[in-house]
A and B are shown apart, each in its own frame.
Chain A
Amino acid sequence: MTGPAGNGPGAGGGDGPGGGDGPGAGGPGAGGAAEAAVPAEAIDPDVDLHVPAQRAERPGPVLAAIAAGGALGASARYGASLLWPAAGPGAFPWTTFWTNVAGCALIGVLMVLISEGGRTAPHPLVRPFAGVGVLGGFTTFSTYAADFSRLLDAGEAGRALAYAGLTLVAALGAVGAGAGLTRLATGLPVRGGPRGRE
């Protein structure tokens, strides 16, 4: 009754991730008057239940894509830690620093390309594989906190605070730069998203 024929509440159960519900569900025109004037955009890039297409994601293929991406991302991070090992327990963890900063720049690029301004991914498994899996597996918050804690334990309080602060500033700067430059390149507003919503 409300939605376009064949794309109603049944879509979540019967329609696969490869089916036709992805672009239509999130597209600007499909929601009709029932939806807010502004299309729902994710705050959480892993999964945001405010986005209907993500709420309806089927676990099987999505979890497989996330696991495969996570294995790739974690392998790259582990490889980097072997190539550039920390100099010692009191040394600045540059490898983890650059891993996190690079991953943050890339998530900014990715999310603008596949979710902002009414855009949708070319395939419903792109976000689970590349965003949740590869980039989520590549970057790490636990090692960041553990490095911070280890530097404090080693009596390097100044370096611990510098590491914690510098990572935050560089990671947030990287995600902002990645998203901002990609918006510029794709013609979206440089400051993303509607302000003051919710």
Chain B
Amino acid sequence: MNWLLVVAGAVVGAPLRYLTDRAVQARHDAVFPWGTFVVNVGACLVLGVLSGAALAGAAPRSLNLLLGPGLCGALSTYSTFSYETLRLYERGRRFLAAANVAASVLAGLGAVTLGSQVARQLFA
């Protein structure tokens, strides 16, 4: 049952990453991988809200599994992020590679913190 919840979240999360990535690229043509950046930071924000709600006792375990390891786990990606960074570096775009790493880590951490704080205020 727990496993099915994770699968249900992932079945939505992985295609949502592809669709969001396409939509971002279609509107914003750039060398910087904005599509992956947006999905990763977005997933961090959702996971932050979820963990804040769980701490406040407002998120049942089933919702945690569906949205945590399921949706957010599949929506976000480390493999795409690292391959993009490698390609940028190898193409001589070293500043963009470093900026991708710094911006993704800082924005991801910031999004988790923000989401968690907002949820704690909302559900406390």
Closest-CB distance, A67 to chain B (whole angstroms): 5
Pairwise interchain contact A132-B17, C-beta atoms closer than 8 A: yes
A176 to B14, CA, bound (A): 24
Main secondary structure of the interface of A (DSSP, over half): helix
Pairwise interchain contact B82-A43, C-beta atoms closer than 8 A: no
Main secondary structure of the interface of B (DSSP, over half): helix
Q: A44-B36, A194-B91 are in contact. Are A149 and B79 (CB under 8 A)?
A: no
Stretch from A18-26, A27-35, A70-78, A118-126 contacting the other chain: A70-78
Pairwise interchain contact B73-A74, C-beta atoms closer than 8 A: yes
A28 to B12, CA, bound (A): 36
A71 to B51, CA, bound (A): 22
* B-side interface residues, number (CB < 8 Å): 61
Closest-CB distance, A166 to chain B (whole angstroms): 12
Q: Does A128 contact B (CB under 8 A)?
A: yes
Pairwise interchain contact A70-B25, C-beta atoms closer than 8 A: no
Residues of B within 8 A of A132 (CB): 14, 17-18, 80
Closest-CB distance, B68 to chain A (whole angstroms): 8
Measured CB to CB, the residues of B under 8 A from A are 3, 6-7, 9-15, 17-19, 21-22, 25-26, 29, 31, 33, 35-36, 40, 43-44, 46-48, 51, 68-70, 72-88, 90-92, 101, 104-105, 108-109, 111-113, 116
